[in-house]
Amino acid sequence: MRVIKKYSNRPLSDTSTSAYVNLDDLAGIVRAGDEVSVVDASSGEDLTRPVLLQVILEARGGAHMFPVGLLHRVIRYSADDPLQRVALQQLSAGLEMLDVQVTRMERQFGWWRPDVPPPAGKAPEPEPAPTAEAPATDEEVDALRQRLADLEARLSRR
């Protein structure tokens, strides 16, 4: 993991190369397969998320990937209303699930972009072991099919 320090009066500094980097440089580092951690040089606060979001929005023109309706919802859900906070948590959980699924896909197919090598020094992680939940048997599937057919029949009579 490459540590990038953010100073208040200087550009970002890559501690592994002792060089200043801009947002385009940071995007190139990530595209090359390195993971980064951005920290405030004076307080040690983790700034990774806001800086990577800034890279997406400013350096790469990524604002187009976010639908306007979604942006409106994020702003609306940022209010103090408990229901809106729950909605924002659900949105966040959905994005986390997307990240997990993409990570699994990358592992399953290898680093799926041929022009980008796997992250340096990272061996592919094994897929998680299956859970203790046993797959449904043919009898269970047949029973579920029958229940579905019964429900459909009841609904069609109404």
Comparing 61-65, 66-70, 109-113, the range with the smallest average pLDDT is: 109-113
Confidence of residue 65 (pLDDT cuts 50, 70, 90): confident
Question: How far is Cα 67 from Cα 63, in angstroms, rounded to an integer?
Answer: 9
**Going by C-beta distance under 8 Å and a sequence separation of 6 or more, which residues neighbour residue 124?**
107, 110, 118
Question: How far is Cα 71 from Cα 53, in angstroms, rounded to an integer?
Answer: 14
Q: What pLDDT is recorded for position 19?
A: 92
Could you tell me if 14 and 29 are in contact, meaning their C-beta atoms sit under 8 angstroms apart?
yes
- In the predicted structure, residue 8 carries a pLDDT above the cut 90: no
Distance of CA 4 to the CA centre of its chain: 20
Confidence of residue 140 (pLDDT cuts 50, 70, 90): confident
Specify the pTM: 0.59
Could you tell me if 26 and 4 are in contact, meaning their C-beta atoms sit under 8 angstroms apart?
yes
Distance of CA 37 to the CA centre of its chain: 15
**Average per-residue pLDDT in the chain?**
80
User: What does DSSP assign to residue 7?
Assistant: -
User: What does DSSP assign to residue 132?
Assistant: S
Higher pLDDT, 90 or 130: 90
